[in-house]
A and B are shown apart, each in its own frame.
Chain A
Amino acid sequence: MFLINCPYCGERDQSEFIAGGEAHIERPKQPTELSDDEWAEYLFMRKNIKGIQFERWNHAHGCRKWFNMIRDTSNDEIKLIYKMGEKPPKG
């Protein structure tokens, strides 16, 4: 259990949220020109690293808004939370 600071509602318990997978995956501009492998890469392949991950989260039992989170998967330390559509910081 840890606290997540929803950018709209403030600090809430983790049980109110759902994780929505990796963030900032861009849809290919020309899907018709991709090979099956490249399409599968876009659709299914996700990073699962020990360390800093970029993730999408949804405050499902609160304001029902999506937002982005940078989280260290090894100790659940939340580095940064920013709204949807905002660019992640470099580095």
Chain B
Amino acid sequence: MLNYTSPIKELKKYTGLTVGEISPLMKLNLRGKSRDFLTAIGKNINIILPIEANTSSSSENYTAIWLSPDEWMVVSNNIDSKDNNDYEIEELLFNKISKTNLGSVTNVTDQLVMINLSGEKIFDLLSTGCPFDFNDFKSKKGSSTQTLLAQIDVIIHHNKINSVNLFVRRSFSEHLMSWINDSASRL
């Protein structure tokens, strides 16, 4: 994690909703198609990448989110150190995946901001700015989707009951937060 000053400074509380950034978290983008790629990931970081669309899988330390038939994002479950910008598994995967031409590994830690929304009103909030149908999404733990929220590209991950993680590009995070602030005040 580089030394950025995040535009999201505090935990915001609304009725039935709490919004705050969780950082620093390691995020890796993985791309690859072959069976060898999938087994190499499984062996090295002990996680099975989800094959089914719009789902995710978790291990003790990491969560893998399905982005596309050949693209996944691995996020660490626990907060990483602030001073350190090197991640053990990034180097491990880089050596096992990128160098052997099985696929690609990209560190997107600083590209994306993770905003956690929790409370019983999260889907009411998301529905106000998003054309996505959350009915099936709501009932399934671990479901994920990429869509537009208030015209901003986001990855939404339903990590536990009444809690979702939003991944948004850093340059859009301030704008998205002000939209959430506005929208949540009118729920």
**Chain A residues within 8 Å of B, Cβ to Cβ:** 1, 8-13, 15-16, 61-65
Query: Could you say which residues of chain B place their CB within 8 Å of the CB of A11?
Result: 133
In the complex, are the beta carbons of A9 and B54 less than 8 A apart?
yes
Shortest Cβ gap from B182 to chain A (Å): 20
* Interface-side segment among B85-93, B145-153, B167-175: B145-153
Contact between A12 and B68, CB atoms less than 8 A apart: no
List residues of chain A with CB within 8 A of the CB of B54: 9-10
* A63 (CB) vs chain B CBs: closest residue: B68
A40 to B69 alpha-carbon distance, docked (Å): 36
Asked if B131 CB lies within 8 Å of chain A CBs, one says yes
Sample (28) of A-B pairs whose CB atoms are under 8 Å apart: A1-B131, A8-B53, A8-B68, A8-B69, A9-B53, A9-B54, A9-B145, A9-B146, A10-B54, A12-B131, A12-B132, A13-B132, A15-B148, A16-B131, A16-B148, A61-B146, A61-B147, A61-B148, A61-B153, A62-B145, A62-B147, A63-B53, A63-B67, A63-B69, A63-B71, A63-B146, A64-B71, A65-B69
* Chain B contacts to A: CB under 8 angstroms: 53-54, 67-69, 71, 131-133, 145-148, 153
Q: How far is the CA of A62 from the CA of B54 in the complex (A)?
A: 10
Residues of A within 8 A of B153 (CB): 61
- With both chains docked as a complex, state the minimum distance between the C-beta of A57 and any C-beta of chain B, in angstroms: 15
Total contacts A-B at CB 8 Å: 38
A15 — which chain B residues lie within 8 A by C-beta? Answer: 131, 148
Interface secondary structure of B, over-half rule: strand
The CA-CA distance from A64 to B69 in the complex, in Å, is 10
Shortest 4 CB-CB contacts between residues of A and residues of B: A13-B131, A63-B68, A62-B146, A61-B148
Complex: chain A residue closest to B66, CB-CB: A63
Cβ–Cβ contact A16 & B69, under 8 A: no
Q: Is B68 a contact partner of A16 (Cβ separation < 8 A)?
A: no
Nearest Cβ in chain B — how far from A35, in angstroms?
A: 40
Tell me, in angstroms, the Cα distance from A80 to B71 when the chains sit together: 25
CB distance from B136 to the nearest CB of A (A): 9
Does B132 lie within 8 Å of A10, measured CB to CB?
A: no
CA distance A63 to B53 in the complex (A): 9
B137 CB to nearest A CB, Å? 11
B106 to chain A, nearest CB (A): 14
Q: Give the residues in chain B near A16, CB-CB below 8 Å.
A: 131, 147-148
Docked Cα-Cα span, A1 to B53, in Å, equals 24
